[in-house]
């Protein structure tokens, strides 16, 4: 199953795989109707969806049905899904992950969300599932595909080919498990706002240079140092050499500020 598969849906699909092909392991995804997959030129899960649909065209006559994969998709069903699902393409490999996604789509189409939310009953959902998968029984007497069918019979009973392969009590037990799993998942899941977003490099906001305490500290220190030096040297007039020294000091502090303060570099357009 894919990591996006709801737990309740995963339980139900595993049950459907076992009902349809007699197993729910990795090999179940390569099964075709009547377990004739040994005659294929390559495994079903190595074919593209288009190749599967093309091969199914002859299976109805050769094997009695075009059903393929873990969920026994009929050829008409796969063609319909191609038209219905925007992301589904003939070039995609008919691998287990794709079959699971298509199986989930069929569950949703038959009312999985409505069943979990309590909008429809287990009996009604069971009838809808039986309409999709012939191996599943209806859970109450109802009108079937060919005739009136009783609880425990396949929806397609009377067609000479399909019959229910599991008991209705077993289906009801699984549906109870599905409900419990779905509700448990809802209770333990965290609210969307509590989910930590992917970490990205944050933009550091710098204060303007004029508001930088470090900048003014260095500037005043530089000025105070120069004034103190002049007083100690008893210089009354500043010749060009003193002026050059003062300029060099100021430039030195400026270089230091630019090299060590991101705010200064950003203000001067020098980057970080």
Q: Cα torsion at 46, 52, 58, 63 (round to 10°)?
A: 70
Q: Quick check: 17 and 71 in contact, CB under 8 A?
A: yes
Asked whether the predicted pLDDT for residue 8 surpasses 80, the reply is: yes
If we measure between CA atoms, which residue out of 42, 115, 37 comes closest to residue 70?
A: 37
- CA gap 261, 97 in Å, rounded: 53
pLDDT single digits (tens) 206-220: 445 445 555 545 555
Higher pLDDT, 177 or 258: 177
Coil/strand/helix, residue 137: strand
Give backbone dihedrals phi and psi of 200, rounded to 5 degrees, phi first.
Answer: -130, 160
Among 59-73, 88-102, 202-216, the range of highest mean pLDDT = 88-102
Percent of the chain with pLDDT over 90: 60
Percent of the chain with pLDDT over 70: 67
- pLDDT tens per residue across span 196-253: 333 333 333 444 544 555 554 555 555 555 555 555 555 545 565 665 666 576 656 6
User: How far apart are the C-alpha atoms of 81 and 88, rounded to whole Å?
Assistant: 8
Q: With a threshold of 0.75, does the pTM exceed it?
A: no
Most confident of 139-143, 161-165, 242-246, 252-256: 139-143
Give the CA distances from residue 43 to residues 58, 68, 79, 103, 177, in Å, rounded to whole numbers and listed in that order.
Answer: 17, 11, 20, 19, 33
114, two tokens? 């409505």
Q: Residue 127 above 50 pLDDT?
A: yes
Q: Which of 17, 20, 26 is nearest to 44 (CA)?
A: 26
Mean pLDDT of 18-46: 94
Q: What is the dihedral of CA 109, 115, 133, 36, to 10 degrees?
A: 90
Whether 171 has a pLDDT exceeding 90, the answer reads yes
Q: What is the residue extent of each domain of the chain?
A: 7-180, 215-268
């Amino acid at each position: 199953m894919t990591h996006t598969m709801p737990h309740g849906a995963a339980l139900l699909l595993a049950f459907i795989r076992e009902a349809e092909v007699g197993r729910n392991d990795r090999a179940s995804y390569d099964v075709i109707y009547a377990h004739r997959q040994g005659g294929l030129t390559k495994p079903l899960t190595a074919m593209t969806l288009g190749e599967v649909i093309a091969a199914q065209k002859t299976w109805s006559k050769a094997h009695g049905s075009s059903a393929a994969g873990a969920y026994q998709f009929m050829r008409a069903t796969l063609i319909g899904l191609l038209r219905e699902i925007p992301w589904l393409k003939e070039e995609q490999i008919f691998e287990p992950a794709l079959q699971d996604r298509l199986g989930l789509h069929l569950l949703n189409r038959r009312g999985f969300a409505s069943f979990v939310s309590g909008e429809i009953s287990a009996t009604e959902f069971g009838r809808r599932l039986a309409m999709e998968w012939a191996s599943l029984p209806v859970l109450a007497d109802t009108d079937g595909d060919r005739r009136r069918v009783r609880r425990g019979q396949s929806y397609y009973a009377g067609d000479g080919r399909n019959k229910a392969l599991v008991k209705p009590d077993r289906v009801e037990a699984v549906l109870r498990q599905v409900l419990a799993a779905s509700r448990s998942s809802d209770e333990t899941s965290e609210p969307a706002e509590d989910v930590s977003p992917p970490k990205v490099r944050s933009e550091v906001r710098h204060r303007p240079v004029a508001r930088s305490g470090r900048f003014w500290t260095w500037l005043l220190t530089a000025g105070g140092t120069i004034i103190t030096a002049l007083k100690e040297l008893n210089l009354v007039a500043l010749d060009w050499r003193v002026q050059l020294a003062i300029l060099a000091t100021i430039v030195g502090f400026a270089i230091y500020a630019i090299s060590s303060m991101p705010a200064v570099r950003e203000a001067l357009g020098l980057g970080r």
